Amino acid sequence: MASGGAIAVATEVGLVGAALAIGLPLAIAVFPQETQISAAALEAEFQQLQTDSGAAVEYVLCNKGL
């Protein structure tokens, strides 16, 4: 038979695991996966980007990779 301490540890680990398995996906889903970044905030080599028609790129869309 397991001691009382081992049962408490197993219960706590199970509860933490369940909270992570349920709560983390919900917390990640609250925030959008794509974000818009101003071209001026990027490295210098990306600040002067142009579209195919020659217009300046004002912002870029990026995937946060969540």
Mean pLDDT by 10 residues, the chain (66 residues): 81 96 91 90 90 92 82
Q: Dihedral angle at the C-alpha atoms of 36, 40, 46, 48, nearest 10 degrees?
A: 120
Residue type, position 38, single letter: S
pLDDT of residue 3: 73
Q: Is the pTM of this model over 0.75?
A: no
Residue 38 · residue 59 · CB < 8 Å: yes
Nearest CA to 63 out of 30, 31, 35 is that of 35
pLDDT of residue 5: 87
Write out the two tokens for 35: 């974000």
